[in-house]
């Protein structure tokens, strides 16, 4: 589904909509922040690589870098950082390891994740890009029994 936002020339936004909102992440972010999608303001093209000469504020520490990638709305908290795997799971570096953003957020709140436990979204959330702690839950990992 495409984002429903149309600018004053009648051009529809060409980004993918978030299923439960009908509009894309950027327009949702503006709506939340400015109370207006600002349909005529172009969406900046994000590039994966920032040229070395470009002074980019990296955040003073790991936590700042991490949270700079989270867009909080009144419902979901959207991850805007990198994704991994076919399902596009939010991931980040933490303590020298690449981990899922959900695991990082869970451990910040509850301490180390118990062995054989996975962190997944609650059924009320179900958005793979959401990293809001209250939308996450832990459950025992299914153990595959060899036949």
- The residues binding Zn ion (CB under 5 A) are 3, 5, 13, 15, 24, 27, 76, 125, 127, 130, 132, 135
Q: Nearest approach, Cβ of 104 to Zn ion (angstroms)?
A: 16
CB nearer to Zn ion: pick between 77 and 94: 77
CB nearer to Zn ion: pick between 41 and 50: 41
Q: Nearest approach, Cβ of 126 to Zn ion (angstroms)?
A: 8
Residues 6+ apart with CB under 8 A from 98: 84, 91, 92
Q: Nearest approach, Cβ of 5 to Zn ion (angstroms)?
A: 4
Helices (H), 1-147: 25-34, 62-67, 101-110
Q: Nearest approach, Cβ of 142 to Zn ion (angstroms)?
A: 23
- State how beta strands 70-72 and 83-84 pair: unpaired
CB nearer to Zn ion: pick between 1 and 50: 1
| CB atoms inside a 10 Å sphere around CB 50 | 11
CB nearer to Zn ion: pick between 57 and 66: 66
Report the length, in residues, of the chain: 147
- Helix, strand, coil % over all residues of the chain, rounded to 5: 20, 20, 60
């Amino acid at each position: 589904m495409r984002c429903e936002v149309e600018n004053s020339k009648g051009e529809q936004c060409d980004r993918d909509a978030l299923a439960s909102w009908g509009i894309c992440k950027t327009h949702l972010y503006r709506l939340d922040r400015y109370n207006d999608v600002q349909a005529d303001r172009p969406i900046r093209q994000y590039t994966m690589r920032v040229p070395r000469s470009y002074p980019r504020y990296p955040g003073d520490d790991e936590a700042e870098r991490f949270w700079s990638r989270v867009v909080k709305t009144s419902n979901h908290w959207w991850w805007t950082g990198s994704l991994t795997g076919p399902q596009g799971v939010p991931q980040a570096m933490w303590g020298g390891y690449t981990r899922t953003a959900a695991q990082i957020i869970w451990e910040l709140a509850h301490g180390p994740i118990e062995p054989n436990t996975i962190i997944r979204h609650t059924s009320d959330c179900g958005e793979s890009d959401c990293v809001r702690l209250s939308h996450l839950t832990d459950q025992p990992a299914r153990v595959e029994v060899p036949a």
